[in-house]
Amino acid sequence: MKRIPIAGPWITEREIEYVTDAVRNAWYENHSVYQQRFETAFARYVSRRYAISLPSCTSALHLSLLAAGVGPGDEVIVPDLTWIASAAPISYVGAKPVFADVDPVSWCLSAEALEAALTSRSKAVIPVDLYGSMPDMDAVLDLAHRRGLVVIEDAAESLGSEYRGRRAGSFGQSSTFSFHGSKTLTTGEGGMLVTDHEDVYQRCLFLRDHGRPPGDRYFFNTEVAWKYKMTSLQAALGLAQLERIDELIARKRQIFAWYREQLEGVPGLTLNAEGPDWKNSYWMVTVIVDASLGIDKRQLMDAMSQKGVDTRPFFHPLSSLPAYGQLASAADWPRRNPHAYSISPRGLNLPSGYNLDRAAVEQVCERLVDVLRGR
Ligand SMILES: *Cc1c(COP(=O)(O)O)cnc(C)c1O
| Segment holding 349, helix H or strand E | strand 347-349
78 lines ligand 1 (CB under 6 A): no
Nearest CA to ligand 1 atom 2: 156
pLDDT in tens, 64-74: 999 999 999 99
Residues 177 and 279 in one domain: no
With 0-12 / 13-18 / 19 or more C-beta atoms within 10 angstroms meaning exposed / middle / buried, residue 15 is: buried
The answer on 254 and 332 residing in a single domain is yes
User: Are 273 and 218 in the same domain?
Assistant: no
- Do 229 and 251 sit in the same domain of this protein? no
Residue 3 resides in a domain: no
Please tell me the distance from the alpha carbon of residue 133 to that of residue 155, in angstroms, as a whole number.
Answer: 10
Instruction: Judge whether 8 lies within some domain.
Output: no
Q: Is there a single domain that holds both residue 249 and residue 234? A: no
- pLDDT number for residue 214: 85
Residue 337 lies in a domain: yes
Q: Tell me, yes or no, whether 314 lies in a domain.
A: yes
Position 6 in a domain: no
Ligand 1 touching residue 56 (CB < 6 A): yes
Q: Tell me the three state secondary structure of residue 60.
A: helix
List the residue whose alpha carbon is closest to atom 14 of ligand 1: 156
156 shares a domain with 21: yes
Other CB atoms within a 10 A radius of the CB of residue 339 amount to: 18
- Domain end, chosen from 196, 221, 242, is at 242
pLDDT level of residue 258 (50, 70, 90 thresholds): very high
Distance, CA 86 to ligand 1 centroid (Å)?
Answer: 7
- Evaluate whether residue 189 is within a structural domain: yes
The CATH number for 37's domain is 3.40.640.10
CA gap 93, 191 in Å, rounded: 19
Q: Which of 177, 209, 242 is the last residue of a domain?
A: 242
Distance from C-alpha of 263 to C-alpha of 369, rounded to nearest angstrom: 8
Of 166, 180, 134, 172, nearest to 152 by C-alpha is 172
Instruction: Tell me the CA–centroid distance for residue 180 and ligand 1, in Å.
Output: 8
Q: Does 329 have pLDDT greater than 70?
A: no
**pTM beyond 0.95:** yes
Summarize pLDDT for 168-209 with one digit per residue, the tens.
Answer: 999 999 999 999 999 999 999 999 999 999 999 999 999 999
Computed over every residue of the chain, the mean pLDDT equals 96
CA distances from residue 251 to 91, 222, 236, 285 in whole angstroms, order as listed: 36, 47, 22, 12
How far, in Å, is the centroid of ligand 1 from the Cα of 87? 10
Whether residue 180 is contained in a domain is answered as: yes
Specify whether 112 is located in the same domain as 29. Answer: yes
| 57 Cβ inside 6 Å of ligand 1 | yes
- At 166, is the pLDDT very low, low, confident or very high (cuts 50, 70, 90)? very high
Mean pLDDT of 215-237: 96
The DSSP result for 313-335, as a single string, is EPPPBGGGSGGGTTSTTGGGHHH
Which residue among 188, 219, 242 closes a domain?
A: 242
Domain with 142, as residue range(s), is 13-242
Tally of structural domains, the chain: 2
Q: pLDDT (tens digit, 9 = 90+) per residue, 105-131? A: 999 999 999 999 999 999 999 999 999
Tell me whether residue 284 is in a domain.
yes
Question: Does the Cβ of 85 fall within 6 Å of ligand 1?
Answer: yes
Note whether 204 and 113 are same-domain residues.
Answer: yes
Active-site residue 227, yes or no?
no
Cβ of 178 closer than 6 Å to ligand 1, yes or no, is yes
Which ligand 1 atom is nearest residue 59's CA? 9
CA distance 158 to 167: 9
Mean pLDDT over 293-319 rounds to 96
- pLDDT of 313 over the 80 cut: yes
Residue 328 has pLDDT above 70, yes or no: no
How would residue 215 be classed by pLDDT, with cut points 50, 70 and 90? Answer: confident
Rounded percentage of the chain residues whose pLDDT exceeds 90 = 95
Split at pLDDT 50, 70, 90, the class of 325 is confident
CATH of the domain at 360: 3.90.1150.10
* pLDDT recorded at residue 366: 97
* Domain co-membership, 214 together with 335: no
| Cα–Cα distance measured from residue 230 to residue 191, given in angstroms and rounded to the nearest whole number | 8
Q: Tell me the C-alpha distance between 132 and 252, whole Å.
A: 10
The alpha carbon of 58 and the centre of ligand 1 are apart by a number of angstroms equal to: 6
Residues 236, 250: one domain?
Answer: no
* Residue 209 and residue 152 share a domain: yes
Whether residue 185 is found in the same domain as residue 145? yes
Each residue of 48-91: pLDDT tens digit? 999 999 999 999 999 999 999 999 999 999 999 999 999 999 99
- Could you read off the pLDDT of 333-359 as tens digits, one per residue? 999 999 999 999 999 999 999 999 999
| Ligand 1, atom 10: closest residue by C-alpha | 85
